[in-house]
Amino acid sequence: MSRKNPIANSGQREYDAAIVTDDPRANLEELIRENGHDFAAISKMLGKNAAYIQQYIRRGSPRKLDEEDRRRLAEFYGVEEHLLGAPAVRESRRSSPARSDGLLRIKQLQVGASAGPGSLADDEYAESMGFGPKWLRRLGIDPANLSLIAVDGDSMDPTLGDGDDIMVDHSAASRPLRDGIYVLRMDDVLLVKRVAMGPSGKLSIRSDNPQYPDWDDVSVESVNIIGKVVWTGRRL
């Protein structure tokens, strides 16, 4: 039986038109309720303790949302910040990368994640790519935790090809590891590989292309998980 993602969206309304209250707490509670989310999951998305949003809405503490938290919530739900408490004048002057073309900008890393022999990582952001807010919300991931990296090499063929763009969820690095495709760093080399946790507590790191070697019984301490691959795009 599949489990419902606590912060995944199955549909989206035009909230700016639907929400008419001047109370930012009531607006946020309505957004959370209409999307089937819960206070604890949204608090966790913001990197706060589980009671943060509930205390803000029900107890008025903090008195207002932190500016960065407000921005992230507005982008996540696709609403204007003034609905969540931003000053109206400031909002009218604010130029957001998500507003000019209706897209949210996801930063792109300058370097590639090697799906072959390996490449050294600079971790420099070159530019960004726009994605629809509704589509991003369905991932259930805060866009601030996402980045794009190009695949370098063919060791993950046919799943990932040379030159494919992959979207990486960096928040996965701070959660218990689940089987999947990850961007990781080993010996200062940035790699994209299939990773699984074995019963011994050690990792297996595998290439989908059978022509490339795998690594078994790798200690967790020797691997730096950068993030989990949640989407890929490629040219035809």
pLDDT in tens, 212-224: 989 999 999 899 8
Q: Looking at residue 78, what is its pLDDT?
A: 77
Evaluate if residue 160 carries a pLDDT over 90: yes
Domain count, the chain: 2
Q: Let me know if residue 6 belongs to a domain.
A: no
Same domain flag for 118 and 216 = yes
Residue with tokens 């130029």: 95
> pTM of the prediction?
0.57
Range of the domain at 188: 104-233
Evaluate if residue 74 carries a pLDDT over 60: yes
56 by Cβ neighbours in 10 Å (0-12 / 13-18 / 19+) ranks as buried
Distance between first and last Cα of the chain: 35
Q: Looking at residue 111, what is its pLDDT?
A: 55
Evaluate if residue 188 carries a pLDDT over 70: yes
Same domain flag for 117 and 169 = yes
Rounded Cα distance, 207 and 195, in Å: 9
Q: What is the pLDDT of residues 124-150, one digit of tens each?
A: 455 678 888 888 888 888 888 888 988
Residue with tokens 């989206």: 12
CATH code for the domain in which residue 40 is found:
1.10.260.40
**pLDDT band, residue 113 (cuts 50/70/90):** low
One-letter identity of residue 4: K
Evaluate if residue 194 carries a pLDDT over 60: yes
One-letter identity of residue 184: L
Q: Looking at residue 214, what is its pLDDT?
A: 92
Same domain flag for 85 and 129 = no
Tokens of 217: 């019984």
Q: What is the pLDDT of residues 38-72, one digit of tens each?
A: 898 898 888 888 899 999 999 888 888 888 888 88
